A and B are shown apart, each in its own frame.
Chain A
C-alpha cells in the first residue's frame, strides 16, 4: 500500500499549512505573552528589558490582583452553577413532548445569537436604578421602599453580573444537555420504570448520571469561555464599585490599555493560562467518570 511516509516532501507540504496557522495564531502569541511577562514591556518605553520574576512578585504582593482573582472565581463559578441548574431544568422540560417544545427551544436559543454587547446594554436597562424593570417591578409590588442601586452596590453588582453571565450561557448549555438527554437510551428508562422508579427517581438516578459527563464538559467549556469575556462588567459596572466586579479579563485589559503596562497584563494572562490548564486537567480527571 502507498504510504505518505514514503514521500517526505508531500507529507511536509500537507502538514505545513495547519502547522503554520497553529504556530502563528496560537503558539506564537502564547509564547510571546509568556515571554513578555518576564520583561518590562510597555508602549511608553522605547525598549524593554528582561526583569525575571519581578512582575510575578509584584502581582502576588498586590491586593487588587487577589481581589480580582477571587471575584473572577466567585462570579464565574456561581454563574456556571446557576446556568447549569436552569439549563438542566429547561432541557428536561423540553425533552418531554410538551406542546410547542420546538418553538420554545428555538426561542431560548435566540439568546445565544445576540452579541454580548447587546446583552450588556439590555441588562443595563433592566437593572437601571431609576427606570429599570427590576426596580419598577419590585416597587410596584411594594417589595422595596426606595430604588436599589443594583449595579453600584458591591454586594448586588456581583450577583447582577452573575445573573447576566448565567443568562447568556443558558442556551448553549441547554442545547448540549438536550442533545445529551436525547442520547439516553429509551430502553434504559423503560427498565427503570419497570424496576419501579418514579419520574424523579428516573431523573436523578438514571438520566442525570447518564448525561453527567457531557454536561460537566459543557460546563467547563462555558466557564472557560466566560473567563475570556469582559463585555458585561466593562459595560455594566466598569469593574466597580471598588473593583467588586473586576474580572481577570478586564483587569488584564485595563493593565494593558489604561496603564499601558503590557508586561503586567501579560503576567496576568500567563497566570490565568496556567490556572485554567491546571483546573481543566484536575476537573476532567476527577469529575468526569468512566462509564
Chain B
C-alpha cells in the first residue's frame, strides 16, 4: 500500500517551471532515493513533501491523508539537512530535545527518548557539547538523532552526506541504512551521488529537468535503463557509448564505428541497414584481450584502485573504459582488443536517447 502519494505535483518559481506534473507513490517502510543532476528539482520535491514549499499544482497525501495544505509541524515528518542545520546555541541534548519540548512532551519521556537515540547513534559522550565542538560526522549523527527522537512517520534526507569526506561518507551510508533497517521507517532520500542511490535505495527515482525519468529498484535501473540519461547517470565509471551505423555482413549485423573498428551486434535482433544507433556497454561488460577482435584500441591510462583496475582507451573519437582483472598485464601504449557479450549491450536511438529494445 502506498504511504506517500504525489499526484501531479507541479512547482514554478515566477516563470521557471521547476517541477512538471510529478506522480510518485512510495510504500510504507520503503527507502526511496530521488536522484538527478543539480537543478533537476529533487530538493524542491523533497521540500514540498516536507511542507517547506507549497506546490503550485497537484496534491500530496501521507498515509492516505491529504496534507497538501498542512504545515510541516502537522505532517509528522523529520528532516535531515545537507548542512546539518543544528541549532548552534543549543547543546547536542538541546538540539535533540527541541522538537519534543515544542510538542510539550513530558520531561521524563524526553530524557528517555534522547538517551535512547543517543545510545543508538553513539552520541552519549557528546550530549553536553555544542555543535561547533563536534566533527562533521558527529554533527550529522546529531541531525539524525534530532530526527529519530520524534518518531516521525516519514524521514526526509536532503543530501545529508555531501559535506563529509569520502571515507566518512561510506561509513555514514551504512549507518543510515542500518538505522533504516532498525527503525523500519519510510524514507525519502535526495542525493546526486549514484553510489549512494545504488547502495541504499529500495527504490530509485531518477529525475531530470523537473520530471521523473524512471522509477525502479537499483538493479532494474542499472540493467534496464529507459534511456541514455538514466544509463549514463547510474554506474561508475560511466557507461561506454559507441555511436555508429548498422551494416549487415556475413557474420550478421555490425556496428560501423568509423575507421576500421566494428562492433558485433546481437544477432537475435532485427536492425535496418544504415540505421544509426548508440550502443551502451558498461565498463564491467567491456572485455579486454590481446586476442584479435574487430574493435581495436590503444591503452591510454590504467587506473588501479586496489579493488578494481580500469583501462581507458580510445575508439574512434570517443574514450572508453573497461574494468579488467588486475592480474592482466597491460601497459600504456599496448594494443588491445575489445568485445562484449551481445546480451550486455544496451541499444539507444541517437536522436531521442530512448532505448530501442527494452529487453534484450
| Complex interface residues of chain A between 210 and 225 (CB less than 8 A to chain B) | 210, 212
- In the complex, what residue of chain B is closest to A201 when comparing beta carbons? B102
| Complex interface residues of chain B between 75 and 99 (CB less than 8 A to chain A) | 77-79, 81-83, 85-89, 98-99
**Is A291 positioned at the interface, with any CB of B under 8 Å from its CB?**
yes
**Is B14 positioned at the interface, with any CB of A under 8 Å from its CB?**
no
| Structural contact, A191 and B102, CB atoms closer than 8 A | no
| Complex interface residues of chain A between 172 and 209 (CB less than 8 A to chain B) | 185, 187-188, 190-198, 201, 205-206, 209
**Is B150 positioned at the interface, with any CB of A under 8 Å from its CB?**
yes
Can you list, as one digit per residue, whether each of A82-116 has a CB less than 8 Å from chain B (1) or not (0)?
00000000000000000000000000000000000
Q: Pick the contact of B98 from A187, A195, A210 — CB < 8 Å?
A: A195
Can you list, as one digit per residue, whether each of B58-79 has a CB less than 8 Å from chain A (1) or not (0)?
0000000000000111000111
- In the complex, what residue of chain A is closest to B82 when comparing beta carbons? A187
Enumerate chain B residues within 8 angstroms of A289, measured Cβ to Cβ: 89
Given contacts A195-B98, A196-B102, A201-B102, contact A188 B86 (CB under 8 A): yes
**Is B251 positioned at the interface, with any CB of A under 8 Å from its CB?**
no
| Structural contact, A191 and B89, CB atoms closer than 8 A | no
Given contacts A187-B83, A190-B79, A291-B130, contact A195 B89 (CB under 8 A): no
**Count class of interface residues, chain A:** 20 to 34
Enumerate chain A residues within 8 angstroms of B50, measured Cβ to Cβ: 190, 194
B112: min CB distance to chain A, Å:
18
Given contacts A196-B99, A197-B73, contact A191 B85 (CB under 8 A): yes
B217: min CB distance to chain A, Å:
29
B135: min CB distance to chain A, Å:
17
Could you tell me the distance between the alpha carbons of A188 and B71 in the complex, rounded to whole angstroms? Answer: 16
Can you list, as one digit per residue, whether each of B3-43 has a CB less than 8 Å from chain A (1) or not (0)?
00000000000000000000000000000000000000000
**Is A258 positioned at the interface, with any CB of B under 8 Å from its CB?**
no
Enumerate chain B residues within 8 angstroms of A145, measured Cβ to Cβ: none
| Structural contact, A194 and B78, CB atoms closer than 8 A | yes
**Is B146 positioned at the interface, with any CB of A under 8 Å from its CB?**
yes
Enumerate chain B residues within 8 angstroms of A196, measured Cβ to Cβ: 72-73, 99, 102-103
Enumerate chain B residues within 8 angstroms of A291, measured Cβ to Cβ: 88-89, 130, 132
| Structural contact, B81 and A195, CB atoms closer than 8 A | no
**Is B52 positioned at the interface, with any CB of A under 8 Å from its CB?**
yes
Q: Pick the contact of B89 from A193, A194, A197, A210 — CB < 8 Å?
A: A210
Given contacts A195-B150, A196-B103, A201-B102, contact A190 B85 (CB under 8 A): yes
| Structural contact, A209 and B89, CB atoms closer than 8 A | yes
Given contacts A185-B83, A187-B81, A290-B130, contact A192 B98 (CB under 8 A): yes
Could you tell me the distance between the alpha carbons of A188 and B51 in the complex, rounded to whole angstroms? Answer: 15
Enumerate chain B residues within 8 angstroms of A192, measured Cβ to Cβ: 87, 98
Could you tell me the distance between the alpha carbons of A289 and B91 in the complex, rounded to whole angstroms? Answer: 13
B79: min CB distance to chain A, Å:
5
| Structural contact, A210 and B88, CB atoms closer than 8 A | yes
B225: min CB distance to chain A, Å:
33
B145: min CB distance to chain A, Å:
12
Enumerate chain A residues within 8 angstroms of B99, measured Cβ to Cβ: 194-196
Can you list, as one digit per residue, whether each of B141-164 has a CB less than 8 Å from chain A (1) or not (0)?
000001000100000000000000
| Structural contact, B52 and A194, CB atoms closer than 8 A | yes
Can you list, as one digit per residue, whether each of B99-139 has a CB less than 8 Å from chain A (1) or not (0)?
10011000000000000000000000000001010000000
Enumerate chain B residues within 8 angstroms of A201, measured Cβ to Cβ: 102
Further 9 A-B residue pairs, CB within 8 A, beyond A195-B99, A291-B130, A291-B132:
A185-B85, A187-B81, A188-B87, A188-B88, A190-B52, A191-B79, A196-B102, A209-B89, A291-B88
Pick the 10 closest A-B CB pairs, nearest first: A195-B99, A196-B73, A187-B85, A191-B85, A209-B89, A196-B102, A187-B81, A194-B79, A194-B72, A188-B85
Q: Interface residues, chain A, CB within 8 Å of chain B?
A: 185, 187-188, 190-198, 201, 205-206, 209-210, 212, 289-291
Identify 11 residue pairs between A and B in the complex whose beta-carbon atoms are under 8 Å apart, listed by A's number.
Answer: A185-B85, A190-B47, A190-B52, A192-B98, A193-B51, A194-B50, A194-B52, A194-B72, A194-B79, A206-B87, A210-B88
